[in-house]
Amino acid sequence: MRYSSTHKQEVREKLLASSRAIAKGGGFDATGVDALMGAIGMTGGAFYSHFPSKQALFEALISEEVDNSSDMLAGNEDSPPDHVARCLRSYLSSFHVDNPDKGCALTALGPEIARAGPEVRKSVERSLKRTQKNWNDRIGDSDGAWALIAQCVGAVVLARSVESEKTRKELLAASRRFIDKAYALEHPCSASPGNRKD
């Protein structure tokens, strides 16, 4: 059977999209090539015609993930004045904690990123710096912008680490209150279901 000229690129994109959710949901190191390929209906043997190694897939996956996160979190000139507050409300939510496959790669794959090669860490650093710069421009506090990022990532990791839903909600709510008090950020009046406070 002959494939279209775009077939290889299409398979690569499908593999990246599927692998992002699988890795964030269950860990990248713990997932084998056969499982990653099986998720898109292909055999493990076809993997190496798309990536030279599993590590190369991880590099591509993390690069895309952190760029996507930075696009969303950093905002742009068209973002509303309360952009940072909206981001924090969504980030520090039960929805984010309960759905790691749909959330930030740093909270789901942080330890694996820390053990990865320099190219992975460079892409993470580049994206974090972009978010920090844009948040600094909005809140006028360079240290505060870094602290907000660290607080958010840490709070989500801790919330995922506890068993009790009550403790998880307390932790998230306390983080939101502390940030709001420390930086007097304006929260939007209402939130969509995916961005709810609880």
What is the per-residue pLDDT across 25-54, written as a single tens digit (0 to 9) for each? Answer: 999 998 899 999 999 998 888 899 889 999
pLDDT in tens, 5-18: 687 888 889 999 99
Could you read off the pLDDT of 134-190 as tens digits, one per residue? 999 999 999 999 999 999 999 999 999 999 999 999 999 999 999 988 887 754 333
Rounded distance between C-alpha atoms, residue 175 and residue 97, angstroms? 13
pLDDT at site 192: 35
Find the DSSP H helices in the chain: 7-26, 33-38, 54-74, 83-91, 94-98, 105-115, 118-139, 142-161, 165-183
CA neighbours closer than 13 Å in the CB half-sphere of residue 181:
6
> What does the block give as tokens for 189?
């009046």
**To the nearest whole number, what is the mean pLDDT of the chain?**
89
Q: Which residue type occupies 171?
A: L
- What CA–CA distance (Å, rounded) separates 162 from 53? 34
Q: CA-to-CA distance for 175 and 132, rounded, in angstroms?
A: 18
pLDDT at 196: 38
| Structure tokens, 29 | 């190191």
Look at the alpha carbons of 46, 49, 55, 56 in this order and tell me if their dihedral is positive or negative: negative
pTM (predicted TM-score): 0.83
CA 109, CA 92: separation in Å to the nearest integer? 17
